[in-house]
A and B are shown apart, each in its own frame.
Chain A
Amino acid sequence: MKYRSLPLARSAGALAAAAALAVVAACSSGGGSGSGGDADTYTWWDPYPQHDESSAWAERVNACGEEAGVTIERTASDTTDLTNRALLAAQEGTSPDIILLDNPAVSTLADTEMLTTVDELGLDVSGVDENLLAAGVVDDQAYGIPIGANTLAIYYNADILAAAGVDPASITDWDSLTSALAQVTGNGDQGITFAAIGTEEGSFQFLPWFWGAGADLRDLDSPEAVAALELWKGWLDAGYAPNSVLTNSQNTTWEEFLTGEFAFAVNGTWQVNSAAEAEFATGLVQIPAMNGGAAPAPTGGEFIVAPAQSDTDRYDVTRQIVECMTTPEGFVETATTFAYYIPPTAEGQDALLTAEPELEPWVAAVREAKGRTSDNLGTDYPKISEALWTAVQNALSGSATPADALAQAQADAEAALG
């Protein structure tokens, strides 16, 4: 008869154990980095886990905190994770004070009313290039400041071009680029590599051609859009581009280029250092528009945004921290720290060019660039983009013609947007 032994004590013990378990569970779930508790500690999230506590970047962040008289608690995670965490934190009311957010995500988060506008925070954005600021503008309200911008251009292998007798300066439109590809492949080298993977990266890389043909994201099956997709498809069919572009991410593309077998690779500002260290001479041309001139490439890069707080007194210090990060000197420092950011203000760009004149083509490219969520696309962009990259995949893999694939994409996008 086990029951005889002190039932009360036992039940008390078991209940205590259960309670302890509950407390442990409660503690672990409440351990997020919420703000609002400590008036002297400001939380900061960014997508740069490669820069640890002792890095120059972390020191800069801390310095801006010290200047405003507070301590900054910085947490770094990768881009996708950061967006998801920001959404969860907003849901639980534990948003950090400052987030550095990938620019296409800004309008998505702004739509949830979790971000403050620059007016609410009292920030001056008059100096920021309009084309860059536009990615964070929803219904005429700006929700953050770009801390820097990057974009796409075409890197070339100078040795291969010289061997094939191609003058990079001759590449000014699609026809001259395609004939350059014919020349290098005729000479036994590989042509061009780019990323057409079925994710956002695929759309990101397709957009310069899409926009360069004069197409509009609201009208995916326009003749201009079909022309852009036919250009890519034509390159694959002619063997100017490898079939693997369909599964290439931008990183894979770059690795292919670094093998030295490819004449051209479409890639971003962030490869500048790597290109300089390549075992062959590299150069840069801007992505040409269909009929000549530079095509608008999409902008990449993070915005500095301030999520709404229940304690609005915190905004004053938040503003000081943001201002500290976005002075012209601050922009140049950010640019050099990451080696792949072009400052978003004319003043910052001039200062950067004084220090590093070889970045001139990138500054020009950023000035031509266009935000993906611009044109008031906002939260519609991700859905349109999904339809677009699916069309690119279907056309390049041969399961549909470019025209059919894009017609389907337009129908899908319209259905998704309701």
Chain B
Amino acid sequence: MTTTSVHRTGRASDGAAGPRPAAPAPERRARKRAPGSASTWTAIGFAAPLLAYLAVFYAYPLWRNIELSLHDYTVRSFVLGDPAFVGFEKYAEVFTANAFPTALVNTALFTLVSIAFQYAIGLGLARFFHANFRLSAVLRALFLVPWLLPLIVSSSTWAWMLNSDHGIVNSVVQAFGGEQINWLTSPDTALTAVIIANIWLGIPFNLVILHAGLQQIPGEVYEAAALDGASPRQQFWRITFPLLRPVSAITLLLGFIYTLKVVDVIWIMTTGGPGNASLTLAVWSYREAFGTGQPDFSPAAAIGNLLIVIALVFGFIHVRMQRSWEKS
């Protein structure tokens, strides 16, 4: 719809300009439109760096990933450059693999549970720091620490804390009379353990964005609500939450995409194990490509493409929702 209308207006203005008595300006404009003239080259010249950048860093890797997933790349054919074209065979292999249902369910649990807690805790903290009490800025800065630490450091620290025999978490549990919990080494708790670590890592991101969002809400609205006798609970659910909706939506979308791709935290803590107990799609892709002695690039690329599609779907849902809000 939009393209045709632009096209039409373009043509209409051309038509309006055409019949005018011969003036220098329209003539120049007409010359500009002709292909091969200097100004067309100027336009191309200015766009070229951007186009080259997009082609080299976006289009090519994406194309290459698709190409990898449609061929049967072994180490041998990777070097010799003669992989057999197998169509969607690698995708079929991925979908029928034993690990696929596990990885899919784990990915869903890992992503949804992580962002639900990250968002809820992030919003709670943002609300808390919005009150702007003494030292609130300092405390808020401290909450950013998980974000600033290199992931290898925070993940290793979590792995130590959750160690079955010597971890601090278990020593606390046992001090209160609990049983030793094999956080990272039992198939029942490994996924929970990496989710806990990932929630902690994601809180600062949610806190920062939601805190900024809260500051956009004008104070008068709250004053008016308070005058009308709205309780703090009502103020939160009737004012803060609805007015924060666009910010929340983008926070959740970005959080979703980030969490979907998480490899490092899980890889460092459990390598997706024990067995496949904490395997997500992203970790599976990494494991196929780099986790074994023999790289399997084709299935890894197929899983990667699947992740891109999932992220895209949620991106479209976000755009849809935003449009419908703008309309209402």
Contact = CB atoms under 8 A, between A and B. Distances in A.
B247 to A, nearest CB: 37
Contacts of B276: 390
Interface in B67-112: 75-76, 78-81, 98
B259 interface: no
A243 B28 CA distance: 80
Interface string A368-387: 00000000000101110110
Nearest to A102: B293
Interface stretch (B4-12, B136-144, B163-171, B225-233): B163-171
Nearest to B274: A397
Interface string A197-208: 111100000000
Contact of A10 (B42, B272, B293, B295): B42
A162 interface: no
B274 A112 contact: no
B206 interface: no
Interface of B: 25, 28, 32, 38-39, 41-42, 44-46, 48-49, 52, 56, 75-76, 78-81, 98, 159, 163-166, 180, 182, 184-187, 269-277, 290-295
Contacts of A90: 79
Interface of A: 1, 3-4, 7-8, 10-15, 17-18, 21-22, 25, 80, 84, 87, 90-91, 104-105, 108-109, 111-114, 197-200, 242-244, 246-247, 379, 381-383, 385-386, 390, 393-394, 396-400, 412
A21 B49 contact: yes
Contact of A244 (B166, B187, B273): B166
Contact of B79 (A91, A200, A244): A91
9 contacts: A10-B45, A21-B49, A84-B290, A112-B78, A198-B270, A242-B165, A394-B187, A394-B275, A397-B186
B98 A18 contact: no
A297 to B, nearest CB: 18
Contacts of B295: 84, 87
Given A11-B39, A198-B272, A25 B56 contact: yes
Contact of B164 (A10, A18, A22, A242): A242
A18 B48 contact: yes
B52 A3 contact: no
Contact of A246 (B81, B272, B273): B273
B185 A397 contact: yes
State the 3 A-B residue pairs at the shortest beta-carbon distance, nearest first.
A14-B45, A382-B293, A397-B274
B76 A22 contact: no
A295 B18 CA distance: 93
Contacts of B291: 199
Contacts of B180: 243
Contact of B76 (A12, A25, A111, A383): A111
B270 A247 contact: yes
B163 A244 contact: yes
A379 B78 CA distance: 14
Nearest to A111: B76
Given A3-B32, A247-B159, A15 B274 contact: no
B292 A3 contact: no
Contacts of B165: 242-244
B274 A7 contact: no
B185 A246 contact: yes
Contact of B277 (A4, A197, A399, A412): A399
A243 B182 contact: yes
In this complex, the member of B44, B276, B277, B294 whose beta carbon has the largest number of chain A beta carbons within 10 angstroms is B294
B265 to A, nearest CB: 14
A115 to B, nearest CB: 11
A45 B39 CA distance: 51
Contacts of B41: 11, 15
In this complex, the member of A17, A386, A397, A399 whose beta carbon has the largest number of chain B beta carbons within 10 angstroms is A397
A11 B76 CA distance: 46
A7 B49 contact: no
B52 A18 contact: yes
A80 B290 contact: yes
B45 A87 contact: no
B45 A108 contact: no
Given A7-B38, A108-B75, A393-B273, A412 B294 contact: no
A17 B98 CA distance: 52
B197 to A, nearest CB: 13
B301 to A, nearest CB: 15
Nearest to A17: B49
B277 A397 contact: yes
A412 B39 CA distance: 62
Contact of A15 (B48, B98, B185, B290): B48
A199 B293 CA distance: 9
Contacts of A386: 292-293
Contact of B80 (A109, A113, A399): A113
Contacts of B75: 87, 108-109, 111-112, 379
A263 B146 CA distance: 37
B287 to A, nearest CB: 9
A398 B185 CA distance: 9
Given A21-B52, A108-B293, 18 more contacts: A11-B45, A14-B45, A17-B49, A18-B49, A91-B78, A91-B79, A111-B75, A112-B76, A113-B79, A197-B271, A243-B164, A244-B185, A247-B163, A247-B270, A386-B293, A394-B275, A397-B187, A399-B277
A104 to B, nearest CB: 6
A247 B28 CA distance: 73
A13 B38 CA distance: 12
In this complex, the member of B48, B163, B185 whose beta carbon has the largest number of chain A beta carbons within 10 angstroms is B185
Nearest to B276: A390
B52 to A, nearest CB: 6
B160 to A, nearest CB: 10
A397 B273 contact: yes
A247 B56 contact: no
A249 to B, nearest CB: 10
Contacts of A113: 76, 79-80
Contacts of A394: 187, 274-275
Nearest to A80: B290
